[in-house]
Every structure is written in C-alpha cells, then in structure tokens.
Structure 1
Amino acid sequence: MPNQDFLGDFLLILAVALPIAILFTRLQLPSLVGFLIAGVLIGPHGFKLIGASQSVEALAEIGLILLLFVVGLELSFGQLSQLGTRVVVAGTAQLVVTGLAVALVFLLSQENLGLLALLGAFVIVHSSTAIVLKVLSDRKELDTLHGRICLGISLVQDLALLPMMMLVRALGSSGGWTGEAVLRVLGQSVIGLVIIVVAARLLLPTVLRQGVAMRSREVFTGTIVVVALGTAWVAAQFGLSFAMGALIAGLVISESEYSHAVVADVLPFRDTLNSIFFISIGMLVPVGAVLAEWPFFVASAALVLAGKAAIVFVIVWLLYRSDRVAFHVALALASMGELAFVLLRAALEWQALDLATYERFVAVAVLTMLPAPFLVAGSERLWAWYERSRGRGRTRRHQGEAADARARHVVIVGFGLNGENLARVLRATGIPFVVVELDPRRTRAARVENAPVIYGDATKSQVLRAAGVDRAQVVVIAISDAAATRRIVSHVRHLAPEVPIIVRTRYVAEIEELRRLGAAEVIPEEFETSVEIFARVLRRLRVPRNIINAQIDLIRSEGYSMLRGVELPRQTLDQLDAILAATLTESFLVARDSPICGMTLRDLRIRKETGATVIAIVRDGKPITNPPPDEPIRGGDILVLVGSHEQLDRALQLLEGRVHQA
C-alpha cells in the first residue's frame, strides 16, 4: 500500500535523523552534515534502504519552505547596519568577485555555458550559515571580529538569494537568453513580488495581532504555519516558487514586533522537517558517479574551497589589514552552503538545468560542506602552526602613532565597553595610555574621543612594540576573542616579562590557562556578575556590610566555592529590615571571637571619632534600641549605625581597624 510505503520511509528517515542529531550534538558538530551523510548512505545511490518517494519529496518541500521562512525571519537590515559599512562592503565584494571568478571558469571550460555559468556563480558564492554560525557559537567566537565579519557576509549572501532566484526563474522559464523573454518573465516576477509584499505588509501584522489576542499558543502556532504555507502558495500562483514565497513572508514578519515569538514557535517544526530536507538532498548524491569520477569531484570541491578562501582572504585583508582575521573568515566561508540547494532545486523546477547536472552540483556542494566544521574549528590551530613555521613576527614598525615618547603608560587592547570606560577614567586621572584596536568602527570611536589609538592586530608582536608594551606600567586586555587573548598574553609576556597583565575574559574556565601564560590578574565576566548579584541580594536583605565584603573576598579567593561563614537567622534579618527601612544606616556584625567583645560603646568612641551613632544593637534576635554608653558588646551582636555616607564609612573602618589591630 502507498500509505504504508510512505510511513515506512518516513519512520526510517526519523529513525536515522534522531541518533545523527544526538551524536553530532555530543561531538559539537552541526547536525546538517550528519543528515547529508545519512541521506547518502540510505538513499537510492547508497544502500538503497529508501528509494525515490513523492511523499518524502513533499515533506522535504515543506521543510524547505520553513527553512526559507526562518531565514527571512532572521534577516535584519538593522543588524547589518550595526555590523558596519565595511562588513556590507566585504559581503558585496565577496558575492561579486566570487561570482565573476566562477562564471569565468565555466565559460573558459566550455562554450555555450552562459546559463550554467550564471547558475554556478549563484550557487557557489553562498556559504553555509548553519555550519559556520553553529561552530562559532559553540566556540563562543560570534562576538569576535572575525565572528562578526562572518555573520555580516552571511547576511549579505542571504539577502542576495531573492534576486538570484528571480533571475534564475526568468532565464529558465524563458527558455534561453533572448532579452525580450527574460525581461517579460522577470517583469512578471517583480510584479508578483510587489503585490505579495504589499499585501503581506498590510495583512500579516493584523493576522498575527489577532492570533496573539486569542492568548492561545495553539492558535498562534497555527497562524504562523498558515501564514508561511499560505504565502508560499500565493507566490506559486504568480509563477514564483513556494520557497520564494516563504522567504518573502519571513522578511515581512522580521520587521514586526512578533518576529522573535514566531521564530520560537517555528523552530521545532523547521528542525524536524529540515532533517528530512537535508537527508533527501543527500539521497540525490550520485555515489556511483562520484566513485567512478572521484578525481573530478575531489578536484572540483578542492577548487571551490581554495578559490573561495583565497578571494575572501584578500577582500577581508584589504578592508581590515589583519592576516589572522582574514584567515579565520576565509576558512569559515570557504564551503558552499544550504542555500545552494535552494537555488539548485529552483533551477531544476524551472528547467534551468537537467537532473544529471543537478546531481553533480549537489555532490560537489556536499563534498565542500563535509570538512567545513573542521575548518572553522581548526582555523586557530592552523594559524598557530603557520606562525610557528615562519618564525616570530617581523620586526618592522606597524602603522599607528609611534610609542617612542611614551613611558610608564597603560596599554589597553580593545576599545569595547570595558576598554572605553577604562580610557575615560585614565584620562580623567591624568594617567597616559594608548589603545590598540583592530575593529575600524571602534578605532574611529576612539579617535572621536581623542584617545591615542593604534589600528592593528594585537596578536602581532610588532603592533605590541608600537604600543610600547615593554615600557608600560600595565597592559589591559579587554577583547572577546579567547584565542586572540591567549596569543596576546603570550606575546606581551615574551616582550615585557615584568609588566603586569590584566585580562578581562568571559568564562571562569579560561582563568588557569591565562595565568599559566603570564597574566597577573584575570577578571572573568560571569564570575564578577555572580559576585555583584549576590552582593546586591545581601544588601537588600540588610546583611551587614563587613559580612558582604568578607563573602566577596572569600568567593574571589576560592573561585566558585560554596558560600559559607556566618549565618544570620531569618528573624534577625526581618527585624533589621524594619529598623533600617527609609534611613541612611549601616550594620556591623561582631564575630563570636572578636577582640571588641566585652568593650562598651563608650570604649569604642564611635560617635566621637566618626560622627556616626549606634542607634540599636540586635542581640539574640531582639533589638536593643538607643543602647546606653556602658552597654557591653557581645559576640553575635549586630550594631546598627546611622549617619552620613562619610560618617558610616569612617565608623566601619574604625570597627574593622580595631578588630585587625587587636
């Protein structure tokens, strides 16, 4: 029975997809690569566990629609503008230069390949956003400079998909290169696109608003599915593809206030159906042809990887002047991407290429994507090997202000939030400093604030020499790139063995390695955030300041040890809260073995020496208000003081000083 065949194929695909997803998640690799491999193995060209199935193709088509719908949702012109003009220029240049190079190769290889050359250019220029961003996210490198560049170029590539699909449709449906036919089909596509976009902008916000007003998750999710599939169907009626319609719907909704909620609800459907889509793509790889002509396929994949990497490297280097950043971006964007399959399916549907050529393109695309996660993850090790093989950095001076006149200054690596704030404080206190920054936007921001800045890659010894690290009082490293941070610490320690290095990092796990490399102090963001949170919580609960400070010192000295020490009963805290409400007060806990135990308030001379007054003593959970001067102090007492900020600070210093002196 057909239904039984469909169910069997569907269950087999899900049975393969689930363990693949689990395995690749544990290996910290993108599941997409596993789905492609699984499709190759179980498909009609592999072990023939599953044959060509119209039902599976229909599910794959729905997966493709949701994939393009979410791609549209995640695109943002605002995000592109935040990444900066250079990123947009880099993405545009990559599309143009790579496309022209690919088209030229096709045209030189054989005559009369105009349409195929154009299609090849469109397909090869795209890189795998899913693989690149997944690996960068796992490695916590999305906020690094090379991570932001990869994200920006990927966004530009995604935005180019729609006009590419329209042009492929025009050329394929017109049956050739006749200008009149191409313009007619392209005009129909543009008119249909305008109608759909205008209608979507007018109707979709209202539809989504009504779905939200129902306050039912099921209704909202159902509305999203209807919107995605409905827009795809409308696009098909205008001669566009289902996938193009879904992309348009996503783009329209991405500018609405409901975009994040839509993404959250669509992701479970998308991930499940996308696994079917990529497995179905893997099933199309002609294993026999690949094995028979493996030199051609391997050479083609290698040519794509090397060619794209070389072009991206040159473009990024010209814009950012950092060979290390250019190297990372080049390896990350060298492979072909999942959107190549979208264009190939559209070209096949519009008869712009035959099935055999389609399968060969798919095979080359899959071969370039298989090593992609390893290229991204291993780029830092490859770069380290390259630097070791060519020796230490060159000794030439780097572009930037000369540091010869500087002495006993502070070197700040990175002009993000932390670096900028530090620079302002140093300027206000008259301490000389110099900033080293690689991001052009932040370099401009530093110059706007009249901060002395060197534009360059601080992982290079010559840049650090230009900043005068060997004559600096302190070197502060405040960048988000963990690998670059380790490299900078190592170089600074080599160039200036005695200079203290203070490093801001994101995670506690990086502390030991940075200290091993020579950092004097490492300040992890997640650690300091946790300290600030518990300190504020304890202040809200009216815990005495000396206890808070003691806990902060304890946590900082022992890392993430369990909070321990003096424990205050809940009843005491409640009474303290009532006493201290709406007053400028502070409290001090007297330890059981404190040397001030047995002394009286007169002996402490708090009011005479500081101006603060002890207005109450909390003892055994009971407050003693307005205590007399001859009241003896006992261990476990909480002294409640009132006064100005200055008076309270002096009183606490007096009490703590007496404890330490004793």
Structure 2
Amino acid sequence: MLEIIIFSILSATILNLFLKKFSIPTIIGYIATGTIIAYGYELHDAINSHELKEIAEFGVVFLMFTIGLEFSVRNLIKMKKEVFLYGALQVFITAAFFSFLAHNIFSIEAKSSIIIGAALALSSTAIVLKLLNENGDINKLYGRKVLGILLFQDIAVIPILLMITMFSVTDKSVSSLLIETLLNAVVLLMGLFLVGKYLIEPFFHQVSKTKSNEIFVGSVLLIVMGASYLAHAFGFSYSLGAFIAGMMIAETHYKHQVEADLVPFRDLLLGVFFVTVGMQLNFSIIFENIYTVLLILPVLILAKILIIYLLLRFATDSRVALKSAITLFQFGEFGLVIFELSFAKNLIDPVIGQVLVVMVVISMIMTPFVLKNISKIVDMFSYTPEESQEYTSPDNNEKLSNHIVLIGYGRLGKNISRLIEKKNMDYIAIENDILSVKEARKLNKPVIFGNAAQKNVLESVNIKDASAVVISIGNSEKLHQICQAVKDLRENKKTIVKVNKYEEQEALSSLNLSHIIVETEKTASAMFEEAIKL
C-alpha cells in the first residue's frame, strides 16, 4: 500500500508540473493519476472500498465549505439580479433542455435524465473563477454576469444532491419522503442557524485569544465535520452541512483566516476525490463510444452557449452576453461529483456514466485555452468594441487597487493609518489580534483578522495590486515568514518593514526588500536631533 501511495504522489506531481505549462487545471492531473494507478496496479475493485470513498467525499465537503464562506447574505443581496435571475434561469432552462434530450432522443430513464441534465447545466467554478481572477476579467461587466451565474450554480448543487438522495429511496412514497425531508431540513437549518448566530463568534473569540494556530485549525475542522455529521444524521449529504457551516462563518470576523487555513485540507482531499474518479475510467467502454463522445460533446457545448447567450442578450449587449456564454461553456467538477454519487446509488448506467465523465473532463481541459483567447474568439462573431465598464465588487477587498496594505494594526499601524487617511488614500490592514480588529470595525476601519504569513490571507486584500506594503509587527519570529510571503507575491515592489534591531535587519537582508527601517536607529536619530536643537 505504501508503494501505491508513493507512486500516486509522484505521478500526480509530475503530471501537474507538466500540465501547468499548458495552463491545464490540476483536476485533470489527479484524474489521470487515478487512471494510471488503476491500470498499473489493477485496483478497479479496490476503489469501491467504503473507506476510500469516505475520504474522497470529504474533499467535496471542504470544497462546499469554502464555497459557503463566499455566500454571506450581504453579498448575495448585492448581486441578487445576477444570481437569482440570470443564474436561476440558466440552470433551470439548461437542465430542462439536456434532460429532454437525454430522455427523448437517447431513451434514458426519466430519473437518470433529470440528474444528467442538472449535472451538465453546471460549469466549473474552480477553473473559471481562478482564470478570471488571474487575468483581471472578474472586474469586467461580463465577469460580473459569470460570477452571478456561478454562484447560483453552486447553490443549486445542494438541491441536486438532495434530489439524488430522494431518487435512490424506493421504500417510501414521494409525498411522505418530501414531508420528512422538509421537516428534517427545517430542524437542521434552525439548529445550525442558532449555533451560528449565538455561539460561533464567541467560540472563535476564545480560540483566537490562545494565539495558537493549531487550536484555531482544530476548531475549524470541528465545526466543519460537526455540521457535516449533523446533516448526515438528518438524512442529508455531508456537503449540505459543510455549506451551511461556511455560510455561518462568513458572517464573522474570522472568514479570511478560516479560508486560508482550510485550503490545504480542501485541495488535498479534493485531489483524492478526483483520483477516485480517474480510477473508475474504463477505456474499453470509452473507445467503444468515442465517436458518440466526439459527436455529442460539440452539440451540448453549442447548446449551452446559445442558451446562456440568449438569456443575457435581453439584459446587456451582444459582446458581453457572448463572452459570458463562452466562458461558461464547460461542464464542471460538480458534474463529476453528481455522476459519482449517482453511480454509487445505481441511478445512472455505467456505460452512459463513462461517456458523461469523459465529456466533462474534455470540456474542462479545453477551458484554459478558450478563456485565454476569449477576446479573439468573440471578435470573430461580434463587431461591438470591447467593454470597458468595471463593476463594484460585492466584496470591498476585491475592488481595491493601488492601495496600501498595512500588516499589523498596533500603535504604529494605527498611526500610519491616520496619516494615510489624511491623504485620502485607500488602505486595508491585517491584524491577528481579534480585539483590535473588533475595535477597528466599530469605527468602520478597513481591518481584517488573519495571519499575514499565509499567502491566501495576503491575496484576499489584493496585495499584488497594492502600491505599497507596510509591515509593522512586534513578533520577531513571524516577521521573516510574513516578509517571505509578501516577497513571493509582490517580487520587488515597494515593501517597507519596521524591525526592532540590527540583527533582524541582517536576517531579512537576503530577501532584498526595498525598505527596512530599524526602530532603534530612527529613534536614536530623532532623539539626537532634538538634543542638538536644545
């Protein structure tokens, strides 16, 4: 078994290093790794083990949790039209059309057709948002439309998973199952809502006072797994509980730090899930149906693009509508999740399932190449000029650019912030003392709670677009970690660091930071200047 684990890690690492050169997402590398392992070690039977599936499912749990973190009620209200109008229409119309095709053209059973249609209506949130953030298009008009639709698609995953659970139950009537599900949902949601409203914030407040990262991470894992287990106990999926837990924490001061701490767990376990997907690919079935795949895939992609284009064309110009539609052409990772759960509950025929999984994977491979050249593609069909409008993001941090990032909001940080405010400049501060953060928030100061040594926290304040970074913390041990993280993200851009003594300046010299100010030197110089004035 150890040999298989080592080979798996080696294969995934080498494959993803190669695929990254072509901007192909790591998901594809994990799926390919699973296929290599399955055929190399003849493990097709082993992947059906209950233990491995439980571990893989928790990758989806953590993905749903981090998505829940983005679903603060305030953000949804600000984007209500994009999310609940365009997003809802896109999912329902696309799902209905694909379900109709599956049932009437390919004679697939009704329940299976509904699941297939719903899964293919979803696009890849992970790939699309990552690429849009990297190229800055998330701040364009079409980026807003895409983001809104993706948000609703993520919400739609929950009822789709519930639908799969309902379809798999055969010993109860539909009406009794609906009533039971509704009652359980009300009890679960009310319980988690009360916990989130009255217990989460005080609990994290006590945890943050320990200044222990291990205890903080452990408490987050406790909440995620506890909420997941509670949802499962009420007959729902683990993912539903994790999603609600994410929404609860999104309303607290701890969102950014929690997100940074959970990303490694999410990505690792999600990788395991996609490895299990790859292990189930049967190439003999795929090759037998390769012409079906090559014929049906372009038709489904064009149909999805056309539906989204027509929906958005009523609300915006043709170029924005077309760019949005092409951006969302692919089928996403949650399609794979839905198909995997459907296989396990015998709701989709294995041969049909293999064809569907291959189509999803191929569309995901195509996505980076399409989005990289989307303006050129749209130019072939639209003669309207490139849109220049940008929108105000629902998250205040996302709209910041050419701002100053303060790391440390102690006495020195507060004084610096006052000077910045006098100049009417934008800034945002990162502080790991929750009392200071709460005090600043009461005064409407732009201060977030987080560990600035973690790159995810730095990225959440758009540090790459900042005009300068000012680091003023008293903890010498963390100073080097923070400076290293800042340098990795900003290369040689302006970074001003305050150190307490010359030894700390020497330790940071290898990072080639633009400005290192020794506190004792500046204090001595100021005191000497005052002395000679007398």
Q: TM-score higher than 0.5 here?
A: yes
Q: State the Cα distance separating 1:207 from its structure 2 match.
A: 3.8
CA contact (8 A) 2:162 2:237 kept: no
Q: Which residue of 2 aligns with 1:109?
A: 105
1:217 is the counterpart of 2:213: yes
Q: Which residue of 1 aligns with 2:335?
A: 340
Q: Which residue of 1 aligns with 2:17?
A: 22
When structure 1 is superposed on structure 2, of 367-376 and 186-195 the one drifting more is 186-195
Q: Which residue of 2 aligns with 1:367?
A: 362
The unaligned stretches of length 5 or more in structure 1 are 395-412, 415-436, 443-479, 481-524, 538-561, 564-568, 580-621, 626-662
CA contact (8 A) 1:170 1:185 kept: no
Q: State the Cα distance separating 1:39 from its structure 2 match.
A: 2.6
How far apart in 2 are the matches of 1:224 and 1:527?
30
> Alpha carbons of 1:368 and 1:175: their partners in 2 closer, same or farther (altered >3 Å)?
farther
Q: Which residue of 2 aligns with 1:594?
A: none
1:286 is the counterpart of 2:261: no
1:239 is the counterpart of 2:235: yes
What SS does the aligned partner of 1:370 have? helix
Structure richer in helix, relative to its length: 2
The unaligned stretches of length 5 or more in structure 2 are 394-400, 402-462, 470-492, 497-513, 516-520
Within the candidate set 110, 114, 118, 1:122 is matched to 118
Q: Which residue of 2 aligns with 1:197?
A: 192
How far apart in 2 are the matches of 1:570 and 1:198?
52
Q: TM-score, normalised by structure 2?
A: 0.68
Q: State the Cα distance separating 1:79 from its structure 2 match.
A: 2.2
> Alpha carbons of 1:339 and 1:245: their partners in 2 closer, same or farther (altered >3 Å)?
same
CA contact (8 A) 2:331 2:360 kept: yes
> Alpha carbons of 1:234 and 1:526: their partners in 2 closer, same or farther (altered >3 Å)?
closer
RMSD: 3.9
Amino acid at match of 1:220: F
CA contact (8 A) 2:289 2:355 kept: no
Counting only pairs closer than 5 Å after superposition, residues 408-419 of structure 1 correspond to structure 2 as: none
> Alpha carbons of 1:571 and 1:38: their partners in 2 closer, same or farther (altered >3 Å)?
closer
How far apart in 1 are the matches of 2:523 and 2:129?
51
Q: Which residue of 1 aligns with 2:326?
A: 331
When structure 1 is superposed on structure 2, of 287-296 and 183-192 the one drifting more is 183-192
Counting only pairs closer than 5 Å after superposition, residues 66-85 of structure 1 correspond to structure 2 as: 66-83=62-79, 85=81
Q: State the Cα distance separating 1:74 from its structure 2 match.
A: 2.5
How far apart in 1 are the matches of 2:238 and 2:522?
63
> Alpha carbons of 1:41 and 1:297: their partners in 2 closer, same or farther (altered >3 Å)?
farther
1:141 is the counterpart of 2:161: no
Q: Which residue of 1 aligns with 2:372?
A: 377
Q: Which residue of 1 aligns with 2:263?
A: 267
CA contact (8 A) 1:86 1:319 kept: no
How far apart in 2 are the matches of 1:150 and 1:280?
30
How far apart in 2 are the matches of 1:162 and 1:152?
17
CA contact (8 A) 1:75 1:159 kept: no
> Alpha carbons of 1:293 and 1:373: their partners in 2 closer, same or farther (altered >3 Å)?
same
> Alpha carbons of 1:120 and 1:573: their partners in 2 closer, same or farther (altered >3 Å)?
same
Cα deviation digits, residues 116-165 of structure 1 (max 9, x gap): 12111221111101110111122222211122221111111111222222
How far apart in 1 are the matches of 2:193 and 2:225?
17
CA contact (8 A) 2:94 2:121 kept: yes
Q: State the Cα distance separating 1:10 from its structure 2 match.
A: 2.6
1:305 is the counterpart of 2:290: no
Between the aligned residues of both structures, percent identity stands at 22
> Alpha carbons of 1:138 and 1:577: their partners in 2 closer, same or farther (altered >3 Å)?
farther
> Alpha carbons of 1:226 and 1:327: their partners in 2 closer, same or farther (altered >3 Å)?
same
Q: Which residue of 2 aligns with 1:94?
A: 90
When structure 1 is superposed on structure 2, of 123-132 and 231-240 the one drifting more is 231-240
> Alpha carbons of 1:91 and 1:253: their partners in 2 closer, same or farther (altered >3 Å)?
same
Q: Between the two structures, name the one with larger relative contact order (CA 8 Å, sep ≥ 6).
A: 2
> Alpha carbons of 1:362 and 1:215: their partners in 2 closer, same or farther (altered >3 Å)?
same
CA contact (8 A) 2:132 2:143 kept: yes
> Alpha carbons of 1:292 and 1:200: their partners in 2 closer, same or farther (altered >3 Å)?
farther
What SS does the aligned partner of 2:293 have? helix
1:314 is the counterpart of 2:322: no
How far apart in 2 are the matches of 1:253 and 1:205?
8
Q: State the Cα distance separating 1:334 from its structure 2 match.
A: 0.9
Within the candidate set 54, 58, 64, 2:60 is matched to 64
Cα deviation digits, residues 173-205 of structure 1 (max 9, x gap): 1469x5434424533542453355345425444
